[in-house]
Structure 1
Amino acid sequence: MSTLAASWLPLSPGERAVALEVLTHGPLSRTEIARRLDLSPGSLTRLTKPLIESGLLIEADWPTDETSAAAAARQGRPSQPLDVIAESRHFAGFKITADTVYGVVTTLRSEIVAEHTQPLTTHEPHAVADLVHGMAEAFAEDFPQLAGIGIGVGGRVQDRAVVAESAFLGWSDVPIAELLEERSGLPVVVENDVAALIEAETWFGAGRGLERFAVLTIGAGIGYGLVLNGKLIRSGDDGRGVGKRWIVNPNGPLTPDGERGSAIALLTIPNICYQVQAATGREVDYEEVLALAAAGDPVASRVIDEAARGLGTLVAQIANFALPEKILLAGEGVGLVDVAAPAVQEAISANRHPLADPVVLESKVSDFHQWARGAAVLAIQVLVLGAKEG
């Protein structure tokens, strides 16, 4: 079996476009690649030849079912489809929270093939780098072809290398990529955790192939991102906690974090639990709050209903102003939608023009290993694009 070259460099822009199309959408026939990239058959042959010779692309087998075979014959596909070998390289991704490091190994197509979790007992940067390096070394015992490491953290990140500010870790201007590269000898890329998750969904998930794609995450905090033509829009707001001042209901609850009625106050897991605990005098976790609401408990139902209406309002605001083809709801707090979907939909309808197109809404509960997968996709991008470009 052919193996993937150590790097995707040097590739011409045309070669890279072909390789990326196959990576993110393959296996694809040459006819389909030419159609997607608006290339003539001759141009495509010229671009694919060096990719096949170098092992970046391979000629795969068509599906064996009769329907797929018949479809291939009707389209006159001249040869086997082109694909990549997903298992030819592996990537480590880590999500660092205030008290835990979640790690995964993925294939070249971001499928998770291993997971590991370690408690984080100190935020001292060198100690954190040692811990992550140890986890990466353990992964490398089973996956010796680790090609890179990605790290996702809550907060602001500069140049995909330095954690400029992280309230969760108490970090300021920490060059965590450099610290880990010194230990591992592998390329390391660091990004805000929400941005990393969005990159993964753009390349390999819900946003693949869309021109306008928005992501809203709810969990310990609120995250938002907009993707246009495959690129995440970047701004000075990145990593600054936009939800604290994103007012959804000015008459909403007053909670320890966020302005009254803000997205943070209404929707984050700690503030939802705080509201129920303040009303009942009993400490509860998020799953218990959702279960109580589903069972009709009046306090939990009121809190969850208000949160659901706030979520629907946010979704409608995003749809009204960003005009995305799809909005993805992600994060560990998305269970809210399962319990109170009617309230979410009612709020969306109330805040949209009655003749507006329906909002295409997809929800995906993302545990911390899925956030780590997003970080691994950052490392995939470094291999494929050849630079730590955001």
Structure 2
Amino acid sequence: MSEEQLPDLLVKTIQQALSYPTAFTALHEPLFEGKEWEYVKDCLDTGWVSSVGQYVDRFERELAAYTGAPYAIAVMNGTAALHICLLLAGVKPGDEVLMPSLTFVATANALSYCGAVPHLIDVSSDTLGVDPVKLDHYLRGIAELRSDGFAYNRQTGRRMAAVVPMHTFGHPVELDSLVDVCDRYRLELVEDAAESLGSYYKGRHTGTFGKLAAISFNGNKIITTGGGGAILTADESLAKQAKHLTTTAKLPHRWAFHHDQTAYNYRMPNLNAALGCAQLEQLPSFLARKHKLSAHYQQAISPLKGISFFTEQEHVSSNYWLNAILLDEPDEQLRDRILDATNNAGLMTRPIWTPMHRLPMYSECPRMDLTVTEQLEHRIINLPSGPKLMD
């Protein structure tokens, strides 16, 4: 098999792996097989469609129970969730926050909303997320612990406040090692778990290792509320502050409008939460089907030369939100030929995101050596990954 033949051969391989005879196969689409209509209709019948209602409270309780986080606060989207997480973690204007350059832009945007400066770090080819070993080596040369108990960037003089790992495509980063690095340099760990609902690291759900974490329920996530997100935390005080900040900081009163601080209208509507409750009931089924799909892909792709299927590490359980193949070597032209061939065949495939240091608004941010990020940019292709593709 030559490199020229690979795009067309991959098209046939994906089609055979899916056994899904449609003219177009989306990258990821929602699946509604449970009580979505029943719960949403209940909102419509009762009139509780907006920011107050029983489904918001229920969704928060059930999400906390599923993840093992003591508290979950539902909000309007994952970016809003991460914004509040960072504020409550103590991130101030002018602080630097360490985050991967290889991530969706929302991670960096949430930092910017706080007035913080993204400090871009490299990832591991084993997890596609933050590389704790490389980060530790980097911080030894650049971080300075001062008497106030915080780490500072020797080059810029700015405080380094937190690390925000993102669990790429649902694959957990090496959390034990990353927690050790954060402890060593007194950095808050705030997980961007937007893509990793249903993913576990050594038996523990992602989003429960740091002080706070953010989850997304966008229409393309493993479960959806249409648009939505959530904040996870084990700290009761932070949970109360998160609820207060995301509901305009209104003080309880039968009729008066008293607000005690500048806050945000980030509430998740009851209508969306109703959808989420029905979706959460089906999450085990979605996960089982996605694991089956990833196994089909791995088996089908393994004989092909020049590419490999990305699989979870032995000590984790990934939700395989988006399945991915990797070219053996960085090759932008070959990657784009594969993208062209698959999309022309009605198979919606996508490259990984443009790294943050290549975007104009973040191109001048401080950054470490990003060799692995720049290689992976031209190696990764996402395949259709919806749970119904194995039906």
TM-score when scaled to structure 2?
Answer: 0.30
Look at both structures and tell me which one has the larger radius of gyration over its CA atoms: 1
Normalized per residue, the structure richer in helix is: 1
Normalized per residue, the structure richer in strand is: 1
